[in-house]
Amino acid sequence: MFSSKPLYPHTIVCEGECRIVRIDTDTVFDFCIAYPGFLRLFLKAASDNTLLVNEKLTNIMHRSLRQRLVAYLKAESVRQHSASILLPVTKTHLAHIIGVQRTSISRELAKMQKEGLLMCEKKKITLDRSMFNRY
């Protein structure tokens, strides 16, 4: 919205009747000045989006599927303050984030479990601390 190139190629799907409203940048700017709570939420959303883009770039920079998966699991472990994490997304969505097929995620998690690096129980994944030092 406030970018020098304010074009964002997105696809939006509505599950019911909806109305699309276009709000110009001056109106949003005035609203931010008048309502500090809105400004906080707006900045939080922008910051969260920046973190998401950074995470995706980090995932792309790692070469192997395992490296990308470990980077994601480590970040989620830090975010949840625990070595036992609940996947906040489906494996299909995780595969999309990492850039592979869902079956590849399942296969790699199974290999890592067989190697003793983690334990999978549906959406709960318990990471072995040695994984943090190995990768």
User: What is the tens place of the pLDDT at every residue in 93-113?
Assistant: 999 888 899 999 999 999 999
Q: Is the separation of the CB atoms in 92 and 102 below 8 Å?
A: yes
User: Percent of the chain at pLDDT above 70?
Assistant: 97
| Fold topology of 65-135 | Arc Repressor Mutant, subunit A (1.10.10)
Backbone angles phi, psi at 126, to 5 degrees: -105, 120
Q: How much is the pTM?
A: 0.59
The amino acid sitting at 59 is N
Q: Calculate mean pLDDT across residues 23-34.
A: 94
pLDDT of residue 62: 66
Instruction: Give residue for tokens 């036992």.
Output: 84
Spans of all domains in the chain: 23-61, 65-135
Evaluate if residue 1 carries a pLDDT over 90. no
Task: Report the C-alpha gap between 73 and 126 in whole angstroms.
Answer: 10
Evaluate if residue 33 carries a pLDDT over 70. yes
